[in-house]
């Protein structure tokens, strides 16, 4: 499933990140890599997804959250 489809408070793991090298560089440098465990903190319609991973709270644009596949 996509990160944008996760429910609040769900724990999961990042499975795959789709995108060009620029996008991959951006998300990995803020701590999101394949295999990273995360917690979805907030996911409201038309709002950025709020997730917690590597001791950091991250707000991710929905368009970007669509490109990240996760397993919960």
Min dist. Cβ of residue 20 to another protein (A): 9
CA 39/CA 11 separation, integer angstroms = 4
Q: Nearest-CA neighbor of 23 among 71, 68, 70, 53?
A: 68
Distance (Å, rounded) from C-alpha 9 to C-alpha 23?
A: 26
Interacting residue with another protein among 55, 70, 71, 72 (CB under 8 A): 55
> Per CB under 8 A, does 15 bind another protein?
no
Tokens of 61: 């644009």
Q: Rule CB under 8 A: say whether 71 interacts with another protein.
A: no
User: Is 30 one of the binding residues for another protein (CB under 8 A)?
Assistant: yes
Q: 12 is written with which tokens?
A: 């999961």
Which residues contact another protein by CB under 8 A? 11, 17, 21-31, 33-35, 37-39, 41-42, 44-48, 50, 52-61, 63-64
């Amino acid at each position: 499933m996509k990160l944008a489809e996760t429910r609040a408070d769900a724990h999961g793991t990042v499975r795959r990140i789709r995108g060009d090298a620029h996008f991959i560089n951006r998300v990995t440098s803020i701590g999101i890599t394949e295999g990273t465990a995360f917690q979805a903190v907030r996911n409201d319609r038309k709002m950025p997804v709020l997730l917690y991973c590597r001791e950091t709270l991250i707000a991710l644009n929905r368009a970007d959250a669509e490109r990240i596949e996760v397993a919960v």
